[in-house]
A and B are shown apart, each in its own frame.
Chain A
Amino acid sequence: MSNVFIAFQKNEDSRAIVNAILADNPGAIVSDQPAMVKIDVPHRLVVRRATVEEELGREFDLQEMQVHLITMSGNVDETDDEFSLTWNQ
């Protein structure tokens, strides 16, 4: 089964996003690299707005991720509440 992944610049906002991803995606593998953090998940990765808001302690629009995002792989599906990456295999 192929992994999907997402990578963020290392900063305070993305720390909360990464924590939210780890909470919502059991089996996620975190790889710390200079100035960036990459998270691999087998098959499907989800970012939930509610979990990010809990981690951040403020309201969060999922499109705000754009500011910290570096790269990702997988088919994107985005709604107001969830951003997901999947391979159809």
Chain B
Amino acid sequence: MDMKANKKLGLKERYNLMTRDLAWTPTYQAVKDVFPYMEYEGIKIHDWDKFEDPFRMTMDSYWKYQAEKERKLYAIIDAFTQNNGHLGVTDGRYINALKLFLTGVSPLEYMAHRGFAHVGRQYPGAGPRVACMMQSLDEIRHSQTQIHSLSNYNKHYNGFANWRHQHDRVWYLSVPKSFFDDAVSAGPFEFIVAIGFAFEYVLTNLLFVPFISGAAYNGDMGAMAFGFSAQSDESRHMTLGLEIIKFILEQDPDNLPIVQAWLDKWFWRGYRVLTLVAMMMDYMLPKRVMSWKEAWEVYAEQNGAALFNDLARYGIKVPKGWEQACKDKDHLSHQAWNVFYNYGAAAPFHTWAPSEKDMEWLSAKYPETFDKYYRPLWTHYAKEQAEGRRFYNGTLPMLCQVCQVPMFFTEPDDPTKIAYRESEYKGMKYHCCSDGCKHIFDNEPEKYAQSWLPVHQIYQGNCFPADVDPSKPDFDPLMEVLRYYKMEFGRDNLDYADSEDKKNFEAWRAQATSN
């Protein structure tokens, strides 16, 4: 392979020729008509030419390197599929993390593609426009490669079949969905700060680095291939996010309070979505690279603190909620997995109580909290299950009006007390899970009062199939909601211990290791 371009120009000259030299100023239409969204957020930009992409990637080199990434990625996926790689993973439980990934994350990649195509069109500067176009292409590549990699599992395991249908309907999927819907329905500057910072910087580093390294550790070369391949693009995306934040702050001092408010809001929004990643790392990986807490310390506390120290020269402060997020690291994964264990009848993947060995690991990683607060809970559940009473919660949880996570988070200084916050808007009461979410609601109540909350919608009768008849004597609301979700009861859900997935995985693995 010859990767060397025969270049006569240096990187900077080539970048200038291939980006801003291809742009022009409109003459027969007013600039504000061509770029109509540039003013209403209050951001002031005086000179778009001051933005420069430090990667100085131009379309010709972009195609060359992305094509090379694709070749490598599909070679691994093909080899994985041809070799029945799905039987080489550590344990069939692991595959449930991929079901969560496919329903929860891949549709966000597609939304990122749409979002960047949209905002890229809106910026008058050629530099950010080209960078947004590349990011838009990257994001559609990510959603495609994730769907391709995971489709192999769909041939063998339950729960993958209706992922796209479920993304718009299933209760916990409104958490990632509402995160992106919130961003794409904001203005173009808020969108790029939100996604460049909260999604790329806060979220993807914790999802695609330690979790994907964990996927490789568990023998899943397919997820490793798409995860690392995606994250190499995310490096450019984080850089775009950071450069845009710096660029906006350098353009006008009036921009500082607006950007600070967005960082406060979007740090908390991104952090709440990470709840799913915390439990994936601590509870869903049979072999673990590091705990959620350790990953948080490396990628948030060290790396995030460095970023905020860097931005301090512009007057940026550590975002609201940062201190609480750092306290929560000892609790987040345990509380989240407990809720999924509770609602294991209504999610299209399997859940399980951690084994004694799992608990030894959790206890070592969380010496301050696991034995004290969470081991007794799992021991109780395991005892109930052994006696034929596997606990499934039959009620519906209250959801936070902003992040849409069931309200299970505890007070920052008291892990035995659920945190409830309340706001009033136009005579109605709205409930939030934390000071962070309440603060977001209070700043934009007209936006969050409209949230589509799955639990409210179920109770209002909006989550049943069209042919349902609630007056029938045998009407079972849970079964009808699952039918609306296109989930097959007893096959796609309930405990892993009794699942078809477990039986199949064990039978196929036995076949794979003998004649």
A34 B213 Cβ-Cβ under 8 A: yes
Q: For B239, list chain A residues within 8 Å (CB).
A: 76
Closest to B205 in A: A71
Q: Of B55-63, B176-184, B419-427, B465-473, which stretch is located at the interface? A: B55-63
A69 interface residue per 8 A CB criterion: yes
A76 B216 Cβ-Cβ under 8 A: no
**A34-B217, A67-B69, A70-B209 known; A78 vs B235 contact (CB < 8 Å):** no
B242 A36 Cβ-Cβ under 8 A: no
A64 interface residue per 8 A CB criterion: yes
Q: How close is A23's CB to chain B, nearest CB, in angstroms?
A: 22
B228 interface residue per 8 A CB criterion: yes
Give residues 20-77 of B contacting A (CB, 8 Å): 54-57, 61, 65, 68-69, 72
Bin chain A's interface residue count: 20 to 34
Closest to A68 in B: B232
B306 A3 Cβ-Cβ under 8 A: yes
Known: A36-B213, A80-B11. 17 other contacts (CB 8 A): A2-B302, A2-B310, A7-B209, A34-B213, A34-B289, A36-B228, A63-B65, A64-B65, A66-B65, A67-B65, A68-B232, A69-B235, A70-B231, A72-B235, A73-B307, A76-B239, A89-B306
B5 interface residue per 8 A CB criterion: yes
Distance A79 CA – B56 CA, assembled complex (angstroms):
9
A18 interface residue per 8 A CB criterion: no
Q: For A68, list chain B residues within 8 Å (CB).
A: 232
Bin chain B's interface residue count: 35 or more
B3 A64 Cβ-Cβ under 8 A: yes
B10 interface residue per 8 A CB criterion: yes
Q: For B214, list chain A residues within 8 Å (CB).
A: 34
Distance A7 CA – B309 CA, assembled complex (angstroms):
22
Binding site for B on A (CB under 8 A): 2-5, 7, 9, 33-36, 59, 61, 63-64, 66-80, 87-89
Distance A63 CA – B4 CA, assembled complex (angstroms):
10
B55 A70 Cβ-Cβ under 8 A: no
A35 B68 Cβ-Cβ under 8 A: no
Q: How close is A58's CB to chain B, nearest CB, in angstroms?
A: 9
Q: How close is B40's CB to chain A, nearest CB, in angstroms?
A: 30
A2 B306 Cβ-Cβ under 8 A: yes
Partner of B234, one of A3, A5, A71, A87: A71
Q: For A73, list chain B residues within 8 Å (CB).
A: 205, 238, 303, 306-307
Closest to A59 in B: B4
Q: For A80, list chain B residues within 8 Å (CB).
A: 10-11
B235 A33 Cβ-Cβ under 8 A: no
B377 interface residue per 8 A CB criterion: no
Distance A74 CA – B242 CA, assembled complex (angstroms):
9
Q: How close is A5's CB to chain B, nearest CB, in angstroms?
A: 7
* B236-252 Cβ-contact flags toward A at 8 Å (1 or 0): 10110010000000000
Most chain B CB inside 10 Å of its own CB: which residue of A3, A35, A59, A74: A35
B306 A4 Cβ-Cβ under 8 A: yes
Distance A64 CA – B67 CA, assembled complex (angstroms):
12
Partner of A89, one of B69, B289, B303, B309: B309
Q: How close is A34's CB to chain B, nearest CB, in angstroms?
A: 4
A75 B54 Cβ-Cβ under 8 A: yes
A/B interface sample: 12 pairs, CB < 8 A: A3-B302, A4-B306, A34-B213, A35-B217, A36-B228, A64-B65, A66-B57, A67-B72, A70-B209, A76-B54, A78-B55, A88-B313
Q: How close is B345's CB to chain A, nearest CB, in angstroms?
A: 34
B224 interface residue per 8 A CB criterion: yes
Q: How close is B312's CB to chain A, nearest CB, in angstroms?
A: 8
Distance A75 CA – B247 CA, assembled complex (angstroms):
13
Most chain B CB inside 10 Å of its own CB: which residue of A2, A7, A66: A66
Closest to A69 in B: B232
Closest to B10 in A: A80
